[in-house]
């Protein structure tokens, strides 16, 4: 039985919750413990805190995620914080502690007992795997108290694994260096220009040529104004694919012939073409020639983007 208990409510975002001494800020990397959370964000989540005089039994069967780690409290308070959300604090006597975090389906428990303040972290039970994660990069960029901005300061390629070396800078000369690993990378474009957001996209124009079904679009019938139809197709292309797929030049000459191949590529884009052609009195026929590729995500860091299977971050 616990010697004492407490109940608090936490809010977390970006899939991370940080535990640290109450006098510190969540962005102070050496002083915090990062708890991966099962969802992107929740607010008003209850946490039961239990204090023990000695290590309690783990009780693994009830929980999906169980991890143990060490803490040192020097301000008579412990804080639970997550990026842009405010910290929830609980009063605790100063000293060195060992802690256990247990989580499952919106239920959370934090157990604390006297122990070494610098022992290694131990994952007793891992949560369901998450294929991609940007670590604390999104939270550092979004937190108004940090006011950080980022830049890609280097890259390294080994096979289909791309590493981005990211530096985040904030006021008072604060700097965080992160290595962002992109496994199974199929396309990327990097720039050293500063960025203010870091986002993973499951749907994005940059994914069309990889994740979408591929096909061919033929046409029959000459439009009255081939140049006007080409201009309309260019607009539809920009809306659907942006800068990620090049627009095929010379369509007006092909359209003037009155039949043949109009375009090939992602089916979603070809359907847009077909709709525009129909508005100009030109009949089309769409043929699907191959499936798309599953499991790809697009990372966007300002003008830098990467299409890959998995993303992970290492603090450096």
Give pLDDT tens digits for 231-280.
999 999 999 999 899 999 999 999 999 999 999 999 999 999 999 999 99
Q: Is residue 45 over pLDDT 90?
A: no
pLDDT band for 172, please (50, 70, 90 cuts).
confident
CA 235 → CA 19, 69, 178, 213, distances in Å?
50, 55, 38, 22
Confidence of residue 316 (pLDDT cuts 50, 70, 90): low
* Local confidence band at 130 (pLDDT 50, 70, 90 cut-offs): low
Residues 50 and 1: their CA atoms lie apart, in Å, by 9
Alpha-carbon distance values, 39 to 15, 86, 258 (Å): 6, 18, 53
Whether the pLDDT of residue 188 is over 80: the answer is yes
Structure token digits, residue 316: 């450096």
Residues 109-130: what's their mean pLDDT?
A: 85
Q: Is the pTM of this model over 0.85?
A: no
Q: What is the pLDDT of residue 128?
A: 64
Query: Is pLDDT of 131 > 80?
Result: no
Residue 260 CB neighbours (<10 A): 10
For 229, 273, 277, 309, the CA distances from 245, given in Å and listed in that order, are: 19, 14, 19, 20
Contact 221, 255 (CB under 8 A): no
Concatenated DSSP letters for 248-280? PS-HHHHHHH-EEEEEEEEHHHHHHHHHHHHHT
Model pLDDT, residue 39: 62
> Which residue would you say has higher pLDDT here, 93 or 172?
93
- Using CA atoms of 113, 119, 121, 124 in order, give the dihedral in degrees to the nearest 10: -60
Q: What per-residue confidence (pLDDT) applies to 82?
A: 84
Q: What is the mean pLDDT of residues 280-284?
A: 96
Predicted pLDDT at 7: 93
Domains located in the chain, CATH noted = 4-125 (2.60.34.30), 137-196+299-315 (no CATH), 213-290 (3.30.70)
- What is the total residue count of the chain? 316
- Evaluate if residue 79 carries a pLDDT over 70: yes
CA dihedral 79, 82, 87, 90 (to 10 degrees): -30
Residue among 239, 244, 137, 267 nearest 188 (CA): 244
First to last CA, the chain: 40
Provide the pLDDT confidence category of residue 38 given band limits of 50, 70 and 90: low
* Residue 41's pLDDT band (cuts 50, 70, 90): low
The CA-atom distances, in angstroms, between 129 and each of 35, 64, 289 are 14, 11, 33
Average pLDDT over residues 216-232: 96
Q: In which residue are the tokens 């934090």 written?
A: 110
Q: Percent of the chain, pLDDT > 70?
A: 97
Judge contact between 259 and 220, C-beta under 8 A.
Answer: yes
According to the model, what pLDDT value does residue 314 have?
A: 83
Give every CB contact of residue 159 below 8 A, 6+ residues apart in sequence. none
pLDDT band at residue 83 using 50, 70 and 90 as cut-offs = confident
């Amino acid at each position: 039985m616990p010697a004492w208990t407490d109940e608090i409510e936490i809010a977390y975002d970006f899939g991370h919750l940080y535990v640290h001494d109450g006098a510190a800020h969540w962005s102070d990397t050496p002083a915090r413990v990062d708890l991966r959370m099962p969802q992107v964000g929740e607010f008003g989540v209850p946490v039961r805190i239990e204090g023990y005089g000695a290590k309690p039994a783990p009780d693994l069967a009830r929980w999906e995620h169980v991890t143990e780690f060490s803490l040192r409290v020097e301000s008579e308070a412990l804080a639970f914080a997550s990026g842009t959300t405010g910290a929830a604090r609980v009063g605790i006597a100063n000293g060195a502690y060992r802690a256990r975090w247990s989580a499952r389906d919106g239920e959370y428990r934090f157990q604390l007992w006297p122990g070494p303040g610098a022992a290694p972290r131990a994952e007793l039970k891992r949560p369901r795997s998450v294929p991609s994660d940007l670590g604390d990069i999104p939270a550092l960029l979004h937190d108004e108290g940090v006011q950080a901005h980022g830049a890609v300061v280097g890259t390294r390629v080994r096979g289909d694994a791309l590493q981005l070396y990211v530096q985040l800078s904030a006021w008072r000369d604060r700097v965080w260096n992160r290595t962002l690993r992109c496994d199974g990378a199929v396309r990327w474009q990097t720039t050293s220009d500063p960025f203010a957001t870091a986002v993973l996209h499951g749907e994005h124009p940059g994914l069309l040529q990889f994740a979408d079904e591929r096909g061919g679009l033929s046409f029959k019938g000459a439009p009255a104004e081939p140049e006007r139809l080409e201009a309309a197709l260019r607009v539809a292309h920009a809306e659907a694919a942006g800068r990620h797929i090049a627009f095929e030049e010379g369509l007006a000459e092909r359209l003037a012939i009155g039949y043949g191949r109009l375009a090939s590529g992602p089916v979603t884009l070809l359907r847009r073409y077909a709709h525009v052609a129909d508005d100009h009195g030109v009949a089309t026929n769409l043929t699907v020639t191959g499936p798309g590729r599953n499991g790809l995500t697009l990372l966007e860091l300002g003008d830098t983007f990467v299409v890959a299977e998995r993303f992970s971050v290492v603090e450096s």
